[in-house]
Structure 1
Amino acid sequence: MSSAAFSKAKQTLADMFGGVSSAPRQGWNLAARDIRIEYVHTKMGLFWAFIEPLAIAGVFIALRSSGSLEVSGLNMPFSLFAVSGILIWQTFFDGMMMSLTSLQRASGLIGNYAMPPESLIMAMVFRSLFLLCMRVPIVLGLAAAQGLLEWQNALLFIAMSPICALGGVAVGLFFAPFTLVSGDLKLAVGVIARPMLYLSGAVFPLTGGLAIFKHGNPVALTIEELRFCLLSPSLSHILPLFYVALGIMALFCVSWFAYHRTMRAYV
């Protein structure tokens, strides 16, 4: 690395850590403002955030009750299997798409409010965690209604579930700078990611030839191990989530650096 590149990288790191001090407060205010704007003109307010996960849960409960859809060989009722998988995957997808499109709104925010890029990153983390908080009670409530939930398992599931939210934000941040080069990337990621709902073990178990999609797929691994944490946690299930979390943190740091550099150059 040349001395000029090294100096630039060193200055970027200094700016990044300098922006961290104000990022949580500004990010929280920005996320709260966005959430208020989204729901301020609705009569039911934040209840709308529950509508989608409740609708998903209702559909699969109805399918299970009618006997229209049942999969054998599961360690839990199919309704709980599908609802937990879909909501975990949707949290990852929402965080990814939110971060992926963030640079389009960064110019006005950063320029008008003297806001460091880290504040926008924290806002995306907070919004992703907000969505997660709307979905986790649905999963826990469904498990409890079926008599499958113990309090220690619920606490473990709550503690480990942010992995999917932070993972989505990290992946979105990684690809966000490339959206400035190609406007097709955002659409391409969305097109590719949506079918992955069915190839990540979220709706149906990955067996036979489809088992190949579990290997090297952190989303599929996260969904599978979070289900085990919900019902039958053990060290063999917690360790894979720990390794996924380490990978997400490494990706997050690399993405943070690239995002900061790109945003500063962009605005």
Structure 2
Amino acid sequence: MVWSTRELANLAGTTVNTIRHYHRLGLLDVPERRYNGYKEYEVRHLVRLLRIRRLVDLGVPLAQIGEVSAGADNTPDALRDLDAELAARIERLEQARSDIAVILRDNAPADAPAGFESVASRLSEADSSIIHVYKQLYDEDALADMRKMVEADTDAIGAEIDALPPDADEETRQQLVERLAPVLARNLSDYPWLDDPGAHLSKSKHVTQQTFVEVMVELYNPAQLDVFGRASVLAHEQLRGAHDGRGHAD
């Protein structure tokens, strides 16, 4: 019994192009041709093709199939490595499914920062972008605190700062500074590590600072940066005043 390439492909549940690819890689011998030029595949070709497909289904890379199918001494190690890769892939897929479920539940953008789906509607495009970067710079505890900060911020000031034009006048800037400063002061009081984040960094302090500056300059215009800077100074002054007041009261 002999088969054409198409017949062999149908029998093995694969495609003609796949068989040709296996020929090019040297995984499957090229059979003799009939008088009319068509290849004549025999049982040995079918069995070899089915063995290749079995290894492919297991996830064995094509580059390793020849060695694995030949029963080399390192075949068990190769299969253990493959098993570990598959386990990691399954874990990633399960996490992806879990993330998708949260995105659908919270009606969040598909590219919302992981863990911030429930508050994504409160984030401006710039804020969402900077949180994506923060996730590469800070540990999970810090990110959890950042999420709490967003959840606690019910003021519409974020949207106003997001809409602030680069040439905003001084009065508008100062109003935003005075409204933003108490929010920053509360966050600094509730999360003291913000002033000294070293213990929560996943990258070096130098890399974090350099990245933070680059990102801020890229994502926010000069007026917004001015408001952030002045509000930060004012927030620290308010905190010192509050501490001094408590000290005198004691």
Which TM class, normalised by the smaller chain length?
Answer: under 0.3
Bigger share in helix: 1
Bigger relative contact order, structure 1 or 2 (CA pairs below 8 A, ≥6 apart): 1
- Pick the structure with greater CA Rg: 2
When normalised by structure 2's length, the TM-score is: 0.26
After TM superposition, the score normalised by the length of structure 1 is 0.25
